[in-house]
Structure 1
């Protein structure tokens, strides 16, 4: 009996892993389509997502934090933010508590472009979510949050390994 249960669990875990890969790939294709439509590169898109996520969390991001999150140098972040600001996707705002601190926020033009492009996907997402109970959504949320945390940890390990000098004696 346990063996059958283990086999069913292994099958389910494999199916979930496949679903996550397909979802990730499809979401990436949609993001790349948006980026191509608006002359953005992959890093630009990652930066816009980071700015949006920070704003939605009520903790607007600084250029320094953005650079850390994306693994970019200070000069690269400045060029990135300048480019996105010129294109109308971002704006720089001074923090009210500390005027020396500059916060990155979505600009109205950038928000309008994103809303127009991603709105139909949002409608589809709302329809999918409506098919789940609150209890089911709590489980899904916990699963996705911990998967995202695990993925970020591995991303950071990979990033750190790329920047460390090689220890290969040959």
Structure 2
């Protein structure tokens, strides 16, 4: 149980940093989670749609629209037509939002990377396996 409690503590701390970033930048914590989802979609080369965002955040259509509208009003996200399917709207993070995130989170990421690099490659592999498996354990059944 010690590892479970430590994982929960790390999760709480990460959530607190996200909430701090949100508060400093006039956002709701869900807005930060939405930006993270959009960054993950871009990294995975997935089309970022409102449907994808709503599913990943566990929001209904109205809640998803409210998040997107807030992020668009703040200049963090833009909506564009999919060049391959003009009926579909894609979401894109604006460069200013990326800069804002880098300013706040880069020092934390740098510290975390230093911790990770202190582990030997086989230990890093074990950590990666654990975190991947933990994420799967927390993922609701339909999404597995």
* RMSD between superposed Cα atoms in Å: 1.6
Residue of structure 2 in register with 1:138 after alignment: 125
Match of 1:51 in 2: 38
* TM-fit CA distance, 1:121: 0.5
Deviation sequence 1:53-75 (CA, Å, 0-9, x none): 11111113210111122222222
State the shift of 1:83 in Å. Answer: 1.2
The answer to whether residue 10 in structure 2 is matched with residue 26 in structure 1 is: no
Count of residues in correspondence between the two structures: 142
Structure 2: 5+ residue stretches without partners: none
Give the match's secondary structure for 2:139: helix
Map 1:5-44 to 2 at 5 A: 14-44=1-31
C-alpha distance in structure 2 between counterparts of 1:15 and 1:60, whole Å: 39
- d(CA) in 2 for partners of 1:112, 1:57: 20
Q: Over alpha carbons, which structure has the higher Rg?
A: 1
TM-score by length of 1: 0.77
| Match of residue 102 from structure 2 | 115
* CA offsets 1:28-48 (integer angstroms, 9 cap, x no match): 111110010011112212211
Following superposition of structure 1 onto structure 2, how do residues 151-162 of structure 1 map, counting pairs within 5 Å? Answer: 151-153=138-140
**Which residue, 114, 118, 122 being the options, matches 1:127?**
114
Contact 1:91 1:105 in 2 (8 A): yes
Q: What TM-score do you get using the length of structure 2 for normalisation? A: 0.90
